[in-house]
Structure 1
Amino acid sequence: MGADIDHRSVERAYARWAPIYDAVFGKVFAPGRAAAIEAAEKACGAGGGRILEVGVGTGISLPDYGTRNKIVGVDLCEPMLRQAVQRVTEHKLTHVDVLSVMDAERLALPDGAFDVVVAQFVITAVPNPEATLDEFARVTKAGGEIILVNHIGAESGPRKAFELCFAPVARKLGWRPEFPFKRLTDWAARHGGVRLIERRPMQPLGHFSLIRFERLNEPDRRSAV
């Protein structure tokens, strides 16, 4: 699918959000953040692991990860990331290895480098969700997990109608409110190296979901007829 959001508009939108993001969305998105961190740490196991948080933003999640894990955070928006760097310094978060400005569609990271990739409220705000998901799968090791928390568009009814009407405004604010779950399942089927293992409704109002994919060993497509 072609992009209906571009990188420049996303950067501008989140640069505007940066000074007030935590105040506006901190409590609203807290259940999703907590669930994503819990799932990521469970996937890493008792010994901990390497976690990539894509769209780390202001770093609001970083203090909540256990110190047995090593965290790498990336974000396209430099003003947001500056706040994350400040948070790491203020809280002395020694488990945070690196924070870097990076495009989620072109991660400058090695294949299979992470036990878990976490992306909270990201996949509806990138120009090319499928290309971004491909990158998540590339940097996740076999047996690891990709954990998304996101608003998922309604399949029918008044909420779907509202989301479609609101979509042009929402794009200017940096996201797609009508994003369908089918887009994720279609991507997984096409990719062939991931398996959906959970979709769980999240607050507020169950309009958000925690979505987990397991990273598989990709099938050898060269043998396909």
Structure 2
Amino acid sequence: MPGCDCAQETRFEGVSTAYRRVLLAVIAINATMFAVEMAGGLMAQSMALKADALDFLGDSVTYGLSLAVIGLSLRTRATVALVKGVSLAVMAAVVLGASLYRVFVLAQPDAVVMGSIGMMAFAANVASVLLLMRFREGDANVRSVWLCSRNDAIGNLGVIGAGGLVAVTASPWPDLIVAAALAGLFLSSSAQIIRRALAERREATAAGCSVEAQPNAAE
């Protein structure tokens, strides 16, 4: 039995050629937007854009991990999902720390660049969400991909809104507030992924699906 998944309920585990192709496309979109948005964030001096760019980078790496473990055991997939959840929490801490630093270095970001790059990022994430829509339910590994893309699209709306508020208020605070909100979004996704991953690891243990626990089929 592939992957030794002894769970009683049937869950989509990503073992599908169509899903692999979609995941490859989403990885390419995220990697491209990391480069574009980080360049825009540096140019505009925008913490919100930099935070979102880091999210694109994190997604590219974690989606690559998701692709790599498709078809492996439930325990392995759950462990990778757990790593992804923890990495999101670390990313949230980095973004919060950088945002607090910017509170004391109040350089006003470029609202035009923020808005234009934010729109590009939003379009990229909506494309990813639409590609992943039919694969949004599944194990922790599959579910984490959907949650990240969905939350990223929501976060992009915040970046776009922050750009408008920066222009209206001539203040960097909307940018910093949105960066902090994105960090909160990372933490929320992290908690969901970690909870499901831990539950699946317990399920794998209870079902005796570890390689060591498998009886010899020839006996």
Fold conserved between structures, TM > 0.5: no
More helix by share: 2
Between structure 1 and structure 2, the one with the greater Rg is: 2
Give the TM-score of the pair, scaled to structure 2: 0.29
Instruction: Identify, as 1 or 2, the structure richer in strand.
Output: 1
